[in-house]
A = this chain, B = another copy of it.
Amino acid sequence: MTQLFDRNRALLDGALQAMKTRAFWTPFPEVPSGRFYGETARQDGEVAFSDLLGKSFELNGHPCEYHVGKEQSPWDLDLDVTYPAAPVETLIAASQSAFDDWSETSVEMRVGVLLETLVRLNKMSFLIGHATVHTTGQGFPMAFQAGGPHAQDRGLEAVAAAYAELTATVDRATWEKPQGRIEPIVLEKQWSLVPRGIALAIGCNTFPCWNAYPGLFASLATGNTVIVKPHPMAILPLAITVRVLRQVLEEEGLPADTVLLAADEPEAQVSKDLVQAPEIKLIDYTGSSHFGNWIRSHAGDALVFTEETGVNSVVITGTDDFPGMCANLAFSLALYSGQMCTSPQNIYVPESGIVTNEGHKSFDDVFAGIADAIDELLADPKQAPGICGTIVNPATMDRLHRARSVGRVLRDSGETGIGRSATPLIVAVGEEDMLHKDECFGPVVFGIATRTPEAAIDQAAGLAKEKGAITAALYARDPGLIDTAAKAFCHAGVNLSVNLTGNIYVNQSAAFSDFHVTGANPAGNASLTDTAFVAPRFRRVMVRWPKALDNQSVSARG
């Protein structure tokens, strides 16, 4: 019964080890190449994706009273995919009927199913890449990574963290209490792992797999059944995920309804009904703080994990590599047109300018350098759409237009030529302006002049503490300033990247090493993946009896 666990044991052990050492490790190659994925993988993925279009997506045995689906590709491809759907009550009843079997399955069996699922998903990374491209609007290279191997890394990380916690203490013990000169008291004790109930994983539009996998896999590993509620515009990547999970479950004789899909359409979303259902005991959510607040006040006794709104900042006080800095920032700003939760939004530069390896640079020089680097990065019309992707939500275009008028435009936004696109807009605003003090999701960058380098750090860290932030970047030559910034962003609960140049970016968060979201500021309480993210998803319940009675079988579960 633990064949899948044994088969994938090395995967688990590798993850457990890496999560302690935080050194680089991944079992899932991030390069979309036949060298890793097999010679035909690329073409197989394209065919598999085409086969899904214009059809009703098949989920064997899934509750289905009607079909829904209005996804539209920001790349102008007709998707026309629909999904089996059923009322919330039906989904909850189906989840409840799977609950006993799944929750009483051994840890090894559960973890085996999840590891096997991740391995199979990895082999489908090209398919998932295309599904991610046409729901998120990302370019293919990024969609492949973020929807495929990088999401699988985060899923594996959650499974490993859960496994470590599930097995942290014994499940049976003999407790022998000395009684001085008389016979000791001897109790046998046995613990069951009791999951919370039905979990809800609410996906987002921009990173359907990457942001949903941690909660999904953590809840499953700890014995909860899960209802996956994708963003109505990004269902396909999660529908594929649910299908693979259900297939592996069925093969192992476990209830497929352990994982359900709650697909919906923009005009008739089911999130609120699900959140308010008393049977839902765990919620993982990625999205705006606005809806995050609604969830918190309507979730009853459900445990809520979130990644929410934030304002990420870059502080530039000096650099030993001005072109390297500009090129690095250009990529961070252009990548997926600022639609990452890790994308920088505000760039703080002292009004007197900075010292660099190329001499003094004024405030305007700095932004001219960044703007030129963006222009250069996006000069090739074949490359630009792959980097910027498209703008997935039309409301982002409105925000972009509004932002253009609030200050002095340092670089105007343009188009890449394909789909609904927008390259980074850079606008100089004053600290007294307000727009940059909230998240302005999309390819909008604010340049803010500060009186001193220290003021730049103070303002950026202060905003992070108040409004939340997931990343921060600093460019500095002075070790004292680096220390000051490290302390300030530490207090603000933001991970800080210092003096990044070359092929590593502030936006990037690597599983098994970087904790994504610290939980120490308003940008979310779900730190991927620390113990606090997995430990409260289940409980330990004991039965104890005198050892003298041990010939009596006592078994609470299974």
Contact = CB atoms under 8 A, between A and B. Distances in A.
Contacts of A175: 22-24, 510, 513
Interface in A502-527: 502-504, 510, 513-515, 518-520, 527
A483 interface: yes
B539 A518 contact: yes
A274 to B, nearest CB: 22
A546 B22 contact: no
A377 interface: no
A541 B498 contact: no
A539 B498 CA distance: 20
A476 to B, nearest CB: 9
A173 B489 contact: no
A553 interface: yes
A417 interface: no
A496 B185 contact: no
A187 B494 CA distance: 17
A61 interface: no
Nearest to A165: B531
B531 A185 contact: no
Given A194-B493, A540-B518, A20 B168 contact: yes
A530 interface: yes
Contacts of A77: none
A500 B545 CA distance: 7
A187 B502 CA distance: 12
Interface in A161-203: 165, 168-170, 173-179, 185, 187, 189, 191-192, 194, 196
Contacts of A173: 21-23, 513
- State the main secondary structure of chain A at its contact with B: mixed
A219 interface: no
A544 B495 contact: yes
A21 B172 CA distance: 8
A185 B505 CA distance: 11
A215 to B, nearest CB: 16
Q: How many copies does the complex hold?
A: 2
A93 interface: no
Nearest to A193: B490
Interface string A481-493: 0110011011101
A256 to B, nearest CB: 23
Contacts of A518: 194, 539-541
Nearest to A187: B504
A277 interface: no
A530 B531 CA distance: 11
A105 interface: no
Nearest to A485: B543
A449 interface: no
A20 B194 contact: no
A64 interface: no
A511 to B, nearest CB: 12
A496 B556 CA distance: 10
A555 interface: yes
A545 to B, nearest CB: 4
B174 A543 contact: no
A401 interface: no
A489 to B, nearest CB: 7
A88 interface: no
5 contacts: A22-B169, A493-B539, A496-B544, A531-B531, A532-B536
Interface of A: 19-24, 165, 168-170, 173-179, 185, 187, 189, 191-192, 194, 196, 479, 482-483, 486-487, 489-491, 493-504, 510, 513-515, 518-520, 527, 530-532, 535-536, 539-546, 549, 552-557
Given A21-B170, A22-B191, A168-B531, 14 more contacts: A179-B503, A185-B503, A187-B504, A194-B493, A479-B552, A479-B554, A482-B552, A486-B556, A487-B557, A493-B541, A495-B541, A515-B540, A518-B539, A520-B541
